[in-house]
Amino acid sequence: MGLKVSDPLASTLVTSDVQTVRIGVLGCGNVGAAFVQLVEAQRSFVQRRTGLRLEVTRVAVRNLSAPREVELADGVLTRDSHGLVSDPDVDLVVEAIGGIEPARELILAALANGKPVVTANKELLANVGAELYAAADAAGRDLLFEAAVAGGIPIVRALRESLHGEPIRRVLGIINGTTNFILTKMTDAVESGGEADYATALAEAQRLGFAERDPTADVEGFDAGAKAAIIATLAFGAKVVAGDVYHEGISRITGAEIAIAHRLGYVVKLLGIVERDADSGEISVRVHPTMVPLQHPLASVRDSFNAVFVEGEFVDSLMFYGRGAGGAPTASAVFGDVVDAAINLRNGTHGSLGVLEPATVRAIDETSAEYLLGLDVADRPGVLHAVTGVFATHGVSIRAAEQEGNGPDARLVFITHEARESDVQATVRELRELDVVRNVGGLLRVIGD
């Protein structure tokens, strides 16, 4: 990274009462290494502005001899991560190892030792976040985690602080770069008149490093689900965990569905959606492919970019857009948290999520949406009548219907008005039994404008 930072005023403005904050970093992969570089690059800027001198004094890794992108002074590298979190030469801990254990016990130990912690670990927070937030409050230290959701995009701070009191109705997020990349490639193929194929797009994502060799966590929505749980916790002040999240991935999305969506003025995106019912207080948290109207700001979020769209009673619509992954953007988010935690440590204060309420999570069956449904049918008189009768039986109202092709290739496409998931699923089950219906295509939920 060709970083150049001019420093013309450093010598004149540095005051003598500079305090050094010594940072211990757990893990030195992409994020850890970029963070160490950022500390070097911005040390004098932060020192001039805050009077705090940031220094990385320990970096714990599993393998001391592995090649790394950063140079570290003698004595900084260690294999002893448990020693790091109790080291008297460490004031503040950055956790960049991921996974639940040993990250959890290391963070708890650091907090118990009075060290603020900055983490990028979504899996950990989505599963045992409440325990960690409580431990941070008990210790009177920061536990900050901007980088855990949407990489470099400062959505965590926005929800924690800026929108602390905003009555948030819904948050829609493109919070997984891998799936957005794959869906963008499939959409581009359709728009340029070609065939959109999931396997081809996935292979390209893997070749370019946007997808893992085993892509399950991304393409089946687990990664987005963990982030959605964290977003729901912040947006509604309630304890939502990964297990509360309903998720469907993109691996069964076909080119035909993308093409239909395109023709009807939509683009298919994998969204994390968190919603709170104003009357009951029930929270719905889900991840699934969604038809987004082309004029919606989320529709133009392409490739591996992420974006989070917030709908509030007073603030109306907000969108936050940027790089959801990658070493440098994630390190930027970690660094912002580190500066914040360092200032708070000096001032003897810390941030808090406050009291989190138990969450009442609405089952997916109880949620409502508009749906797109495609049926391969026999093209003969009475088919539309038979099919629409099934919708009517289950109280699912149709907003638009159209037929594509005819003869053996006839296909009916329906968009419903807002309907309950359970009613729509019952409709689908009964449609499958009709002898005029050859196949019921994927069910796509639609977000309104």
Residue closer to a copy of itself (CB basis): 100 or 356 = 356
How far is residue 14's CA from residue 427's CA, in Å, rounded to a whole number?
70
Residue 335 C-beta: closest distance to a copy of itself, Å: 5
Q: How far is the CB of 224 from a copy of itself (least distance, A)?
A: 20
Q: Distance (Å, rounded) from C-alpha 144 to C-alpha 434?
A: 54
Report, in Å, the least distance between residue 339 CB and a copy of itself: 5
Beta-strand pair 316-323/305-312: antiparallel
Residue (102 or 326) nearer to a copy of itself, CB = 326
Name the DSSP class of 277. -
Tokens representing residue 60 in the block = 């714990």
**Which tokens go with 379?**
């093209």
Strand-by-strand arrangement of the 143-144 sheet: 77-78, 52-60, 19-26, 92-95, 117-119, 143-144
Choice between 348 and 448, CB closer to a copy of itself: 348
Residue-wise DSSP of 152-214: TSTHHHIIIIITTTS-EEEEEEE--HHHHHHHHHHHHHHHTTS---HHHHHHHHHHTTSS-SS
Query: Do the beta carbons of residue 306 and residue 270 sit within 8 Å?
Result: no
Token readout for 110 is: 């650091």
Of 41 and 130, nearer to a copy of itself (C-beta) is 41
Closest by CA position to 307, among listed 179, 186, 188, 150? 150
Residue 217 CB, nearest approach to a copy of itself (Å): 23
Residues annotated catalytic, as ranges: 227
CB of 304 to a copy of itself, least distance (A): 11
CB of 239 vs a copy of itself, minimal distance in Å: 12
Considering beta carbons, is residue 74 or 279 the nearer one to a copy of itself?
279
Beta-carbon contacts of 186 under 8 Å, excluding residues fewer than 6 positions away, are 196, 197, 198, 201, 253, 255, 258, 268
Six token digits for residue 331: 């390190």
Choose between 91 and 340: whose C-beta lies nearer to a copy of itself: 340
Check if the beta carbon of residue 196 is closer than 8 Å to that of residue 190. yes
CA dist 291 and 274 (Å) reads 16
For residues 233 and 250, what is the distance between their CA atoms, to the nearest angstrom?
Answer: 25
